[in-house]
């Protein structure tokens, strides 16, 4: 064991451990769950330490041997070595200080192991020109940006799959429904095209919110004033970090603003929440349209993926939309957490970024995987029951809506009531009553007439009506 000391006191630390006293205190203080800090945040913090060492050395504030030792340690960590040294909990007090110090301690101790002649101090050397208050939120944004292409790709895959279904079913007529009651007909082509446009908007929203995540406060140190950092460091740290990571981070125009306010996280969370709301509504529609098969709507046939009951033989449930629903509930709940955490920030700093970043990173992963399984295990092999859809349109009295320009609202209502009472179709009853010429009736009840705006009614037709 070795003894380390901080402003609180002394603690024994395992001699072989790369972490130090700040890390051990964090583990003892925050026994909330077994969940550790996200590896992407750790990797991003390591990238910041490496870039800071290179920039500080160029500024003349860090000796060459220390710079080389820090870079060597960071390179070792960036290829995945010593991952078990990062043990701080994901949910932690202190605005991320425990996370930052865990990395500082590991880098300092590993650098000494790799270059025994060089002795490094975690705060003075590894954390030089930095504060948790600029490194932790920057690392969080870097982590979110690294996961974002996967999320955007999953939305793009969903959008393209919906477009394929829209084109495949552009002539498949179906009964429309408003408030779960029969409405005028539409087509499954239009239904899927509406979903296509819905998720295209989600894609655009997330792209815009993601662009805003590239604005960071690195170089602002404690509260955005840049105290203890050199002008050279402030002007060059992002150049070095971007060169090392291939990210396109940019410095916030007001570092004080960027240090204390978390509206960028709220915006990004809100874009994911909107996606979750839309995905959940879409999943609800899929489950309803596929309900039955004998006693439901039975318009969509979802791929059978697993037995649905431990007691009812042959039952198959819509398990893929169900799991997507549950993911969406989680994402929406996490958005509430992010919102409240951002709102709870005070004065020059928000102390609640650990829970924000934990939930934002989780939401990115949840949504990406949910859309992957939705496309792969449901939408690609989904089929439309064209026969049932056509029969429903034929039997639906609400198709009489196309008659109101010819018979008027009151007369059409009476016709609908009679058709329903006699269990007859409106078209058949109309032909029996000879209220309109048969050619006109057949034209009005054609799929094209039932699902599109009508042409201007000819004068001759008006007189016939």
What integer pLDDT is reported at residue 457 of this predicted model? 59
Residue 128 has pLDDT above 90, yes or no: yes
Of 234-243, 422-431, 434-443, where does the model show the most confidence? 234-243
For residues 393-405, average pLDDT = 88
pLDDT, tens digit, 9 for 90 and up, residues 153-197: 999 999 999 999 999 999 999 999 999 999 999 999 999 999 999
- List the beta strands (DSSP E) in 253-359: 300-301
Question: Per residue in 73-104, pLDDT tens?
Answer: 999 999 999 999 999 999 999 999 999 999 99
pLDDT digits (tens, 9 = 90+) for 278-336: 999 999 999 999 999 999 999 999 999 998 888 998 999 999 999 999 999 999 999 99
Confidence of residue 465 (pLDDT cuts 50, 70, 90): very low
Contact of 4 with 13, CB cutoff 8 Å: yes
Taken in order of first residue, the domains within the chain and their CATH numbers are: 2-128 (1.10.275.10), 134-387 (1.20.200.10), 396-464 (1.10.40)
Question: So what's the pLDDT on residue 456?
Answer: 60
Q: Which residues are catalytic?
A: 309
Distance CA 220, CA 103 (A): 19
CA-nearest of 354, 258, 257 to 42 is 354
Alpha-carbon gap, residue 146 to 38, rounded angstroms: 12
**Strand 215-216 with 250-251, pairing:** parallel
Q: How far apart are the first and last CA of the chain?
A: 99
């Amino acid at each position: 064991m070795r003894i380390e000391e901080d402003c609180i006191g002394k603690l024994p630390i395992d001699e072989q451990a790369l972490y130090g006293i700040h890390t051990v205190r964090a583990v003892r203080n925050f026994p909330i769950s077994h969940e550790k800090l996200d590896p992407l945040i750790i990797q991003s913090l390591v990238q910041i330490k490496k870039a800071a060492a290179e920039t500080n050395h160029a500024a003349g504030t860090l000796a060459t041997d220390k710079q080389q030792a820090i870079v060597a340690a960071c390179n070792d960590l960036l290829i995945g070595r010593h991952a078990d040294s990062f043990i701080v909990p994901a949910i932690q007090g202190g605005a991320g200080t425990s996370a930052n110090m865990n990395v500082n301690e590991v880098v300092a101790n590993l650098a000494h192991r790799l270059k025994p002649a060089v002795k490094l101090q975690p705060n003075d050397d590894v954390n030089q020109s930095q504060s948790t208050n600029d490194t932790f939120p920057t690392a969080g944004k870097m982590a979110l940006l690294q996961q974002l292409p996967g999320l955007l790709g999953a939305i793009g895959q969903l959008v393209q799959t919906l477009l394929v279904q829209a084109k495949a079913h552009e002539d498949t007529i179906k009964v429309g429904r408003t408030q779960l009651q029969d409405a005028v007909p539409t087509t499954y082509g239009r239904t899927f095209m509406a979903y296509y446009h819905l998720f295209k908007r989600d894609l655009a929203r997330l792209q815009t919110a993601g662009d805003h995540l590239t604005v960071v406060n690195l170089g602002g140190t404690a509260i955005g004033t840049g105290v203890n950092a050199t002008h050279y460091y402030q002007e060059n740290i992002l150049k070095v970090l971007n060169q090392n990571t291939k990210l396109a981070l940019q410095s916030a125009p007001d570092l004080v603003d960027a240090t204390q306010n978390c509206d960028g996280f709220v915006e990004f969370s809100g874009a994911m929440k909107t996606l979750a709301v839309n995905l959940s509504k879409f999943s609800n529609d899929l489950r309803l349209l596929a309900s039955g098969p004998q006693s439901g709507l039975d318009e969509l046939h979802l791929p059978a993926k697993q037995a649905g009951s431990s007691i009812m033989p042959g039952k198959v449930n819509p398990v893929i939309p169900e799991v997507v629903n549950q993911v969406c509930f989680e994402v929406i709940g996490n958005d509430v957490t992010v919102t409240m955490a951002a709102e709870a920030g005070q004065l020059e700093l928000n102390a609640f970024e650990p829970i924000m970043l934990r939930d934002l990173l989780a939401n990115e992963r949840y949504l990406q995987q949910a859309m992957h399984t939705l496309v792969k295990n449901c939408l690609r092999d989904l089929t439309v029951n064209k026969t049932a859809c056509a029969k429903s349109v034929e039997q639906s009295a609400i198709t009489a809506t196309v008659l109101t320009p010819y018979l008027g609202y009151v007369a059409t209502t009476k016709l609908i009531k009679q058709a329903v009472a006699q269990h007859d179709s409106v078209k058949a009853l109309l032909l029996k009553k000879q209220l309109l010429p048969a050619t006109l009736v057949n034209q009005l009840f054609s799929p094209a007439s039932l699902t599109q705006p009508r042409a201007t009614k000819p004068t001759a037709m008006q007189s016939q009506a």
